[in-house]
Each structure stands twice: as structure tokens, then as C-alpha cells.
């Protein structure tokens, strides 16, 4: 059985941003969809895990794009398990555009939690996860440091709403990206593109929580961003690198 999962999408106009490009959060949605489907095919999907009283939790993800898909562009995403440790497993992605040439890669790190205790599950006890490991090129750095943006910034207040919640009733991990990108002025999106984002998920956001959104430039074109709860504790941090547009 093929160890690499292959999934096809076609961008649709209502998903595009004002530049006529598929925005980064939607790429994130596609990646998580592929991860879920691939896991399901291998017997480790949402339902399989639920039966073991477990759930996958996304811990970190890094996405690096050389180009963003355009209107009605066919996209092919491949995903595979690179490694399985005791507490974490690494999943890679490659993203190809309309001519089949690569336009991006992503690397993600997942833990499983026990739904009763909310503690990490030992992945080596979950069955033969390791037999799905394979190698394929994913020439980008592993998810890297996400320095705090909240330490000396004011932050913008935001209260978690209905549309922020995922099917588990938690703050949707992709909606975090949407809110963080909204901290940037539209001129940034006109003039530049996001080359890479590294995201760390630290704690769960819930309905009604009063959050603060922070952004800080750490070097030219490099930003630390974070989403904190009312006590100032980070739920999520992201390091964002912009490149000049071609």
C-alpha cells in the first residue's frame, strides 16, 4: 500500500483573497484535511482514535510557500509520516501547482492526547504507527522557534466567537492564522508575500474567551505574533517571514 497520500483540490473563487490568490489559512485547511484523510486511510483517523479514547493534537506546523495558487488552479498535496517518537510524530507535506511543479512544503508535529485524562498518549502503544513511516523530499527547516510577541506590545483585544470554533468546540487552529494575518496592514499583502510561517499551539482557546493579539517586528520582514488569554498566557505563537514579491 502506498505510504504517501495524494490529494487533489481546485481553488474556487470564493476562497481567494483580494489578490486572487489562495490565502495561507486556506492552504492550512487543505493540509489539515489531507492529514486527517491520510490518517484515516491508515487506520489512525479521527474515529479510530476516538475509539481508543484518544485524539490527535497539532503541536507545531511550519508552512513555506514559493508561490500561492491562483483562481481555478488545480493543486496536488502529498503527505507522509516522516517519523514517530514516543510522544510526537512528524508529518510532511509537499504542495504542487497547476503544472505539477512544487510551490510549497510544510512540516507538522502532532501529539495524541487521552480524552479522559487530557494527558499525552504514548504513541508506541497506539499500534503500528511506525510502519507508515517513509522518506520523501521535504527541503524546509523543521518547525522553528516562535518567540513571544506579547512581552512588550499592547495587543489588540478579541473575543472568541461562533465562527472561530471547530468541530470539537475549540478555537479552530486555522482561524488562529486568520486572526494573526489580520494584524498586518493590507499594504503588506499588496507588496509582499508570506514566505514562511512557524506556528506553535500551546493551549486551547474556547468560546467567549477574551484574547489579545500581538505582533512585533523582530528583524526586517520578520515578525513574532501571538494570541494570549486574559492572563497574558500564550495560546498560540507564530513567527512570520515576508518576502518581497517577484
Among candidate residues 121, 88, 94, 100, the one with its CA nearest the CA of residue 38: 94
Stretch that binds a second copy, among 61-69, 98-106, 133-141, 177-185 (CB under 8 A): 177-185
Site for a second copy in 205-244 (CB under 8 A): 207-208
Stretch that binds a second copy, among 59-67, 90-98, 100-108, 163-171 (CB under 8 A): 163-171
Stretch that binds a second copy, among 101-109, 115-123, 180-188, 215-223 (CB under 8 A): 180-188
Among 114, 178, 204, 229, binds a second copy (CB under 8 A): 178
Tell me: does residue 23 bind a second copy (CB under 8 A): yes
Site for a second copy in 192-211 (CB under 8 A): 207-208
Q: How many whole angstroms separate alpha carbon 108 and alpha carbon 172?
A: 16
Residue 46 or 87: the one with the smaller Cβ distance to a second copy is 46
Site for a second copy in 69-88 (CB under 8 A): 71
Among candidate residues 176, 246, 184, the one with its CA nearest the CA of residue 221: 184
Tell me the chain's radius of gyration from C-alpha atoms.
Answer: 18
Minimum CB separation of residue 156 from a second copy in Å reads 10
Site for a second copy in 109-148 (CB under 8 A): none
Burial track 174-203 (b if 16+ CB lie within 10 A, e otherwise): bbbbbbbbebbeeebbeeebbbbbbbbbee
Burial track 140-156 (b if 16+ CB lie within 10 A, e otherwise): beebeebebbbeebebe
Give the count of alpha carbons within 13 A of 168, CB side only: 14
Residues at the site binding a second copy, with contacts judged by CB under 8 A: 12-18, 20, 23, 25, 29, 32-33, 36, 46, 71, 161-163, 165-169, 172, 174, 178, 181-182, 184, 186, 189, 207-208
Amino acid at each position: 500500500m502506498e505510504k504517501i497520500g495524494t490529494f487533489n483540490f481546485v481553488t474556487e473563487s470564493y476562497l481567494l483573497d483580494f489578490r486572487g490568490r489562495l490565502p495561507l489559512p486556506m492552504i492550512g485547511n487543505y493540509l489539515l484535511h489531507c492529514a486527517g484523510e491520510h490518517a484515516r486511510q491508515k487506520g489512525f483517523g479521527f474515529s479510530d482514535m476516538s475509539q481508543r479514547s484518544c485524539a490527535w493534537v497539532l503541536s507545531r506546523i511550519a508552512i513555506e510557500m514559493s508561490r500561492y495558487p491562483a483562481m481555478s488552479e488545480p493543486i496536488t498535496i502529498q503527505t507522509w509520516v516522516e517519523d514517530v517518537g514516543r510522544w510526537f510524530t512528524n508529518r510532511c507535506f509537499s504542495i504542487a501547482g497547476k503544472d505539477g511543479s512544487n510551490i510549497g512544503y510544510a512540516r507538522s508535529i502532532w501529539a495524541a492526547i487521552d480524552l479522559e485524562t487530557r494527558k499525552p498518549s504514548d504513541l508506541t502503544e497506539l499500534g503500528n504507527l511506525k510502519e507508515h513511516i517513509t522518506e520523501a523530499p521535504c527541503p524546509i527547516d523543521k518547525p522553528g522557534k516562535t518567540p513571544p510577541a506579547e512581552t512588550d506590545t499592547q495587543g489588540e483585544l478579541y473575543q472568541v466567537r461562533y465562527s472561530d470554533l471547530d468541530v470539537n468546540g475549540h478555537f479552530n487552529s486555522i482561524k488562529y492564522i486568520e486572526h494573526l494575518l489580520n494584524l498586518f496592514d493590507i499594504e503588506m499583502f499588496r507588496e509582499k508575500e508570506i514566505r514562511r510561517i512557524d506556528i506553535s499551539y500551546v493551549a486551547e482557546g474556547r468560546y467567549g474567551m477574551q484574547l489579545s493579539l500581538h505582533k512585533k517586528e523582530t528583524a526586517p520582514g520578520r515578525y513574532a505574533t501571538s494570541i494570549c488569554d486574559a492572563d497574558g498566557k500564550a495560546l498560540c505563537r507564530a513567527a512570520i517571514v515576508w518576502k518581497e514579491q517577484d
